A and B are shown apart, each in its own frame.
Chain A
Amino acid sequence: MRKDDQGRIHLKLVFYGPSLGGKTTALRWLYGKVEGLQKGEFTAIEDETNRTLFFDYVPMSAGGRVLFDVFTVAGQKRHKHQRKVVLQGTDGILFVADSSPDQREENTESFEELKMFLGDDLGRNIPIVVMLNKRDLPNRMSRDEMLDLLGLGSNVPIYETIALQGVGVKRAFQAIAREVILKRMYK
């Protein structure tokens, strides 16, 4: 939690997860399609194939004096140091897992890396919500298989999403925003 010079509260949310999992797609959908959110400009630092090189960033607000600074990380393995930079001061994580069966390893690697970066804070001081994305794929992994893969229990909110169509994205976002606010109110 941070404050700006006008005394407004800023909370930083970060979309994390393997490359091509759908982080940017989900954020773009929130940006373009959710009318109840007030948004600033969309900043994207990406290559010509639209893969994120450093981060995407949009400031958002549901009204009032609380703002969410929403970032996505660059999922490709070589951008590890950029991810560390983007994670600085994060208040909450939206982990976007890829349901394609060929992304098993990428999912676990990314999740392990996140745990390594945030340590004990993850899930305690820094709430996490997980999106199982690309649920439209015919050969998608089952929900249980994915939760097993990531070693997730019932304590983490899980949302099945199709970022391309926006299915479940708004609810996942509301969930992490809510968790983060509650964490601040009853810390």
Chain B
Amino acid sequence: MISQEKLQAILQRLRAQEGVRGVVVTTMEGLPLSSDIDPDTTESVAAIITSLVGKAMDAVRELKEGNLSFLTLDTSKGQINIAPEPKEGLILVVLKNNE
């Protein structure tokens, strides 16, 4: 499993980027591990993104397209970047504002 220090360093770097509104790390069980946004939103992000990742993984598997490595949702508010790390049992979620 990834060390806390390494994880924190990655999060620091992400948060420092321009336009980043929030960074959430959740387990594959939909439980948030780390977040810099309010608790209610964090809970929703963790639960709903985990569910989405599960479905996306199913779709990729069904289509025999290998493994899911990244998901991007373009929204009117900006972008949601989702990086599943099945080996770590984690999902990294980055919420960004429109440029």
A/B touching: CB–CB < 8 A: no
Residues of B in contact with A (beta carbons under 8 Å apart): none
